[in-house]
Structures are given as structure tokens and as C-alpha cells.
A and B are shown apart, each in its own frame.
Chain A
């Protein structure tokens, strides 16, 4: 019989060949072992596990059994993190330098002592390029492959929102999320706590208070990023000026994947508002300052605390002079601070363990401080298990002298107070000197006030 469809035959055969290649590829590609030991996460019995200690903050009754001390092996405790190390937000990777420098420094001292036993800390970092879905797969992999004990300083609001339910379900501490978003006050998610970054509403409140004193009938022009970050500034600003003489006269937003803000700033400048409020980050900050100055507009300017960085100030140049912001930390670029023991330690140790890091950059200082906060939290835990560590993070009491924390500041958390960085300094940039100065008289202490100052739906919205 003559086959009139030669093509058909070859296709069939090629199908078989390809299928075979795929089988081989599969065997080669997948290299981990038998699943029988793998954890069935969502199907686990919901019987009560965890330590017998009961807490009003954290309910461990639904936690998976036998995972309380995952990540603690011998005298090593493994911590995971997911930070943008490539892409637009790659500059955030400088945080890692500060963190790992503090951890290396602690390990060299002998390690961290939890309940009388010393542990070495191992930090596993993964890159998520600031993409929320990659944060999820990174964290899943950190939990199942690297078997980390807890997460430290995962960067980004959406990135943390994306893993919030996962860490809650698995009862893994997501310590000190790098975002000042108000959502971290949601009591449904006790396993996630924000870092020492000043919660965005407190930033806004501090500046609004300043305006009430100095220019109570000021008109405000607002520039915000077109994402949740920018929106949280806009929402709280609108909320906080209710019932005052202050007035937002114009709002513009910019595309947060870039830093092109000139058109928006021109439109804002045209209002000749008394105040320019910048809910922006990274390069958009200096770009907006320059554009305002080019437009001949010299308002009272406030910019997000996330823009406080030596590099961003220096890129802006003279237009950055006099800009207000807040910081929970000592400015490493200010030589006046060099005399303090905290700054001396920071500069010597970071230079030792991360010689390539820019010591004067506040973002490295932030990482260093977060590393120190982790160590402080671990040391105050009653035992080396997840519950105790999370409880320790939720019950920080008058924490001071951590990393580059401002000397007189104290950080507290409690059952009612879910935010860390509520004591901070109002600052103003001095372009000639090249660093920021404390203004507005002393520290601002809003301890425990974030939840009260923020409309409930901002915190608890699903």
C-alpha cells in the first residue's frame, strides 16, 4: 500500500521523538528527591500545635504542625529575604549590603544569643526585581528548599501584600517589611510586621503639623507616583487636612516605571501653590525638585522619607536645598554624627565586610539598622522558635541604640501598637553642607498613634 501522506508519517515520528526527548529532559531537569517528605501545606490538619504559651496577639492554633523550629539547625539560624537586585529598583539592593554587614559583624562576635544559646545567622537573599509574583515564588522556595526560619526586610508594599497570606498560613515571621504602608496594621495578619521606616501617615502628619504652625492657610500641590505607594500619601494627606485651612489645589501623578515628571511639575508650578508635596521615590524626587526650580517655583517642599539619600540629594543639586522630610535614623553623610559610637561602629564594620558599599548612603545605613533590629528581636525572644520570635517582634519595649537609630529615640510595639518606626526626626536638607539637619525641635514621638491617625479602611481594606 502506498502511503499518500508522507508528511503525516514524519509528523507522527517526530512527535514520538520529541516526546522521548521531553521525558529525558524532565528527568534531567528536575533534580530534587522524593516528595514523600515534602510538606502538604494547605491540607495539613489544623490541630493545635505551637508552644503552649498563649498570646493575645498571635493565634497559633491553625499553624502547620512541626514547623516551629524550621530553619534552626544546630547552632545556625537561617533567615531569608527577597529584594530587587536587578531591574528599575536594583538600587534597593544596597539595603542588603547593610544587612549582611551587620549579620557578618554579629557572627564574628560569636553570634546571636537566644535563651542562653548562641547561634550563627545565615542570610539567604533572592532577587525579585520588585515584581510581586516573583516575590511569591522566591518566598515559596525559601520556605521549602532553603528551609528558612523567618523572612527579613522583604522590600515593597505589593511584594509583602502578595506573601502576607502565605506567611500567615505557614506561621513564618515576615520581619520588618521594607515599606511604610499602613496595611501592616491589619490584625488579621499578625505574622507580618513593618520595619523602622516611618509609616507614611506619620510623615504626612508631621509635615501637616509643621504647616499648621508656619502657614496654616497654605495651598498644596501634590505629585504622586501612580501606584499604591503614591496613593497612600494622597489618601492620608487628604484625610489629615480635613477641618484645617490647608487645601490641595492640584494633584498630578507620574508613571512610576520611569522618572519623567516635568510636564506634571510644570502644571503644578502653574498653580503657584505655597507647598509642593512629593509622594514620589527614587529618581523622580530629584527630577521633580529640578523641574520645580526650572519653572521658577520655590514652594515649601516636602518629599517622601524614601527619597532621603545622599545620592538623590546630590543629583538634584541646588534645587534640593531646604527640602523637608523625615528620618528614623542618623544621617551617615553628616560628619557631625561621626563622633557617635553607633556611627563609628557602622562605618568600621560596613567598610570591613562590604568594602564596596557607599558608607555615606542612608539606604546602606537603613539595611544595617534593620539587621541590628533583627538581632535585637532574636535576642529578646524567649525561645528559638517562630512563635517566640514573632511575639518578640510584636512586643518590642523601649528599643534604643539599634544600628543607626537616633540616640534618644525609642521604638515600641505591643498588642495595640503594630508599627515600629513611630519615633523619628523632622529634617531639612542643607545643600551647601551636603547633609540633612534636624529641624522643628527634637524628635517627633508618635508612638502608638499610627493606627489612630489612619482611617481604618486604609489599614484593614482587603
Chain B
């Protein structure tokens, strides 16, 4: 009986996931215009960054308000590598394809994340958040001092050929060959991969040690969990996610620019908002949060087209209201709704069933 139910549920899940992939991966980019695909791609790369932050903040309890810096690092590495005129420390980097930049971004942001993670062994909570804030405000200064990009500025703008879909992709998927579709597909694929990795991670031994360390450090240590390794690895992995999210943004924005403190800070905050709105310590939450962050802001802007100053207020108020209504985020809210639903269903069943037994 239970087994049968499980098979049914599994089938339903597989079908739904297949439908979602079919819809998002194929139907959507081939049927909607570039403005929509761009917004979706933005939602997905914010979702990817939020997945990483969720690993750190949601599962491991370390708050960061500086992940915009890792995002910026990823964006710059990708843009500089793809920009064929670039000369990195004497090594001529010539027109690297987007996908080839990803391993470099993953490794570099992972390593920098691990380095930043070391202080986390001593510094905790709000104090740690402040250290990461330092990262978010120092990175833009470093960028504007050391990056020599387009027109001598710290902006690295790519041209149409550089951001276009590669030939093999155009041959395989001729209906997805426009630039925005390529950017969208990459964001979608990496969001799926990120989701899969996150799902595997939180289910693994490592995932359980993350939660154990978050809930009670001393207890976790006493059962043999290596605190240092767990915390530093959480930082490194989350930085890697944010870095790759930055790479994805390069295809969407066709440039990388990380020299504005307010932007880096705002991005860091958006990731955190995405985590909390979606649902902390949930697998799907960050993606939903990414969509929420992008679409609520879009909605807020559309409400007052002639008064752009009002749109941040609208977004802010929506955030506050969301926290009242869904303090556990969308996923948490759905879970609560479901337990409530099944409980009332069960009690109703019981009340109708009991007279029959008589």
C-alpha cells in the first residue's frame, strides 16, 4: 500500500519535473521575447547565487552580506577571459568561450571563498556578517583600481560576437540560437546543475554536518565533525555558486562592472532576500526567491512608470509584508499549508469514519 503510493508519487514528481524542464528549457525561450528571457535568466542567476548563500546561511548558519563580491569576481573573470584583447600577467588570453571560463571561475572563487572562510572559524554571527560586508565594500575599490577594461574604465563590455551562442550550440539547437536564448539556456542549465548539486550536498554526510554545526557547534564537534573543514568548505562552495552566478550575468548584461559599492552591496542583499523569501535551508527555496526578487522589483517598477523613485519603496513594502505572511519563506509556507491541509483532511476523515465503526 505504502509502496504503491510511493511509486505514484515518484511518477508524479518525475512527470512534473519533466514538464517543468520541457517548459522552461524549450517552450519558454522559443515562445517568449528577449525581455522575458532576460528577466528569467536574471532570476535564475540570482537563484544560483542564493543557492550557494543558502548552503552557507540556511544550512550552516553563517550569515554573509558580502556575496556580491564573489559574484563580481566571477563576472570579471569570465568577461576578461572572453574579451579577446586581454593580456593577463603576460599570458595572451585569446577569445575564450563562455563555457571554458567556468572551470576557472569555479576554482578561483572556491579558493577565495575558502580564504575568506578562515576567519569564520573564530568570528561568528553578526561579527562575521560585518567581515563579509567589508568584502563587499572593498571589492569594488579593488576592481576600479586594478581592472582596465573597455575604454580604459573598469567596465568590461563584450561585443556581439563574444556573447553570441557558439557555433556548435547553434547547430544543435537552431531554434535557441539568438543571443538572449543562449544566455537564458546557460542560466537554466547551470541553475539545474546547481540545484542538483545542492540536493546531493544537503543529503550527504557533509550536508548533515552543516546542519549539526549550525544547530550546536560544541555538540557537533563532540560527535567527531571537523568544524573547521565544514565551515570553510561551506564558505568555499557558496562562493563558487556566487562566482558562477556572476559568470552567467555576463552573458545577460554583456558586460561586467563591479566598481560600484552600492551595487555590490545591493546584490549581496538581494541574494539574502532571495534565500529568506524562498525559504532558508530548503533546496528549491533560493530559486523561487530569485524569481521573487526579480519579478517583485519588475512589478514594482511597472506600477509607477513615471515615478521610478517609488519602485524601491514598493519593493521594500512587499518585502516587509512577505515577512509577515511567510516568515518561513515560500517553501516553508507551502509545507505549513500542506501539513495543515492534511491534518484537517485526516481529522475530517476520522470524524466521518467513526460513526461507521459504531
Contact = CB atoms under 8 A, between A and B. Distances in A.
Direct contact of A and B (CB under 8 A): yes
Interface string B33-50: 111101010100000000
Interface in B149-178: 150-155, 157-161, 164-165, 170, 177-178
B338 interface: yes
Contacts of A19: 13, 16-17, 19-20
B102 interface: no
Interface residues on A, range: 35 or more
Interface in B262-290: 262-263, 283-284, 288
B334 interface: yes
A30 B260 contact: no
Contacts of B9: 9, 12-13, 16
Contacts of B29: 35
Contacts of A26: 23-24, 28
Nearest to A227: B144
Interface stretch (B111-119, B125-133, B218-226, B251-259): B251-259
Nearest to B259: A227
Contact of B40 (A1, A30, A42): A30
Contacts of B38: 137, 140-141
Contact of B20 (A9, A22, A162): A22
Interface string B172-203: 00000111100000000000000000000000
A162 B3 contact: no
B31 interface: yes
Interface residues on B, range: 35 or more
B20 A23 contact: yes
A19 B19 CA distance: 9
B36 A85 contact: no
A75 interface: no
B3 A1 contact: yes
Interface in A172-228: 181, 183, 186, 226-228
A110 interface: no
Q: Is the interface of B mostly helix, strand, loop or mixed?
A: helix
Interface in A62-108: 85-88, 90
Nearest to A258: B261
B253 A22 contact: no
B101 interface: no
Q: Is the interface of A mostly helix, strand, loop or mixed?
A: helix
Interface in A276-297: none
A347 B169 CA distance: 57
A458 interface: yes
Interface string A435-462: 0000000000000000000000010011
Interface string B273-316: 00000000001100010010001000001000000110110000
Given A18-B331, A23-B19, A183-B151, A12 B10 contact: yes
B89 interface: no
24 contacts: A1-B3, A13-B9, A13-B338, A14-B334, A16-B13, A23-B19, A30-B28, A34-B31, A35-B32, A38-B32, A38-B178, A40-B177, A41-B160, A41-B180, A42-B165, A43-B178, A85-B308, A140-B180, A161-B150, A162-B257, A165-B157, A227-B259, A231-B152, A461-B152
Q: Which 8 A-B pairs have the closest CB atoms?
A: A127-B308, A228-B153, A133-B253, A85-B308, A183-B151, A19-B16, A165-B159, A38-B33
